[in-house]
Amino acid sequence: MSPIFLTHDTARRFWQLTTDPNRWKRSRRITWPRDTPTSPTRTSLDEAILALDKMGVMELGKPIDVLVDSDASRRHIPGITCHICKASLPENSFVRIAPGIFVASPELLFVQEVARLDFPNTVLLGFEFCGRYSVPPIRNLSLLEHQDQTAAEDFRNRGFFNRPPISSVERLSAFLAKTKRLHGKKNALDAIPHILNESASPMESVCAMLLCLPVFRGGFGIEQPLLNARVDMKGKLAPLAAFGSYECDMLWPQANLAIEYDSELEHSGERRIAKDSRKRADLAAANISVITVTKQQVMGVASMEQIARKVAKLTGKRIRKGTFGLTDARIALRKAILWDRLNRLKHERWEEQRRLTGSAQHPAP
């Protein structure tokens, strides 16, 4: 069987639904363009469909996206969409998921995806690739249930599920440094300096972007924090603290400042509230100031500006004229990563409800 290389939407679905990405190793021996023809065949397509179905990532009714390296390798076979890539690709561009079946690595996929995205959504996608969460389409919930019931329940309740990162800023940068003339590379290079590792949720990513993107991009230009960084309770604090260490959602170590994102689901219940209170007390004893940020504050323009002013003051950020206020750039950023995203999620839920129940009633705006 000739090898088949899965790409674009098929690769995106594979990585979105993978709950344990560390099991897949990048294939160093694969060169691109290939020394042998990359033409997909009916047999290789059937083998790929079977493999994807066993893994629980095969969406019925969707074509298989296949990468080929020349016009001559393109094939018109029902169920296949061929994408041509004539550029030379570095090693580690593909991951072997079954004998003769390869999928685009997260780094290659990122470049392919951002070729069709604007700057804010490119950065947001980078946070997801380098973060501890995945946001698959709601229609893929049943596929996720096939793989991992816990992840599916997580996704059902929160709109995302947690898993190890599929890439990192360092891996993305290294991949881009080795590529030439790859469609989407410019968008990726523009976004890389603004992506942070280890975000634990979409709203953490949004909050970090609103605070730290440059002013001309709609942010407040605040110094980038570490995300979900560990703070050890050392010395005299160790025996007094409830835990030996804590993770801070956002941490500016030099300023001894942390932000804790307080989602309603994550921090509800008496036990959780007491745990969060003790965490803030222990961090305060370690001389770390803690600012609590809620989803409502991130959604609000004025409330987010107040938080930005506090963070700027505590980190020693010099406030320049024009930093604050509802500028055109800030409106565009919020529209891209908050308003449009939430409307899209609402529409996805409606589509899924209609598919399951046959109801055509559209949700209220």
Q: Which of the residue ranges 93-107, 223-237, 261-275, 322-336 has the most confident prediction, judged by mean pLDDT?
A: 93-107
Write down the domain spans for the chain: 4-176
Q: If you average pLDDT over each of 60-69, 240-249, 276-285, which comes out highest?
A: 60-69
Least confident of 207-216, 260-269, 333-342: 260-269
Q: What is the pLDDT of residue 266?
A: 52
Preceding omega of 33 cis (within 30 degrees of 0): yes
pTM (2 decimals)? 0.90
pLDDT in tens, 153-205: 999 989 999 999 999 999 999 999 999 889 999 999 999 999 999 999 999 99
The strands making up 226-232's β-sheet, listed across from edge to edge, are 226-232, 245-252, 257-262, 289-294
- pLDDT tens, 36-93? 767 888 888 899 999 999 988 998 888 999 999 988 888 888 889 999 999 999 988 9
DSSP per-residue string spanning 273-324? HHHHHHHHHHHHHTT-EEEEEEHHHHH-HHHHHHHHHHHHHHHTPPPPTTSS
SS3 of residue 229 by DSSP: strand
Helix (H, G, I), strand (E, B) or coil at 155: helix
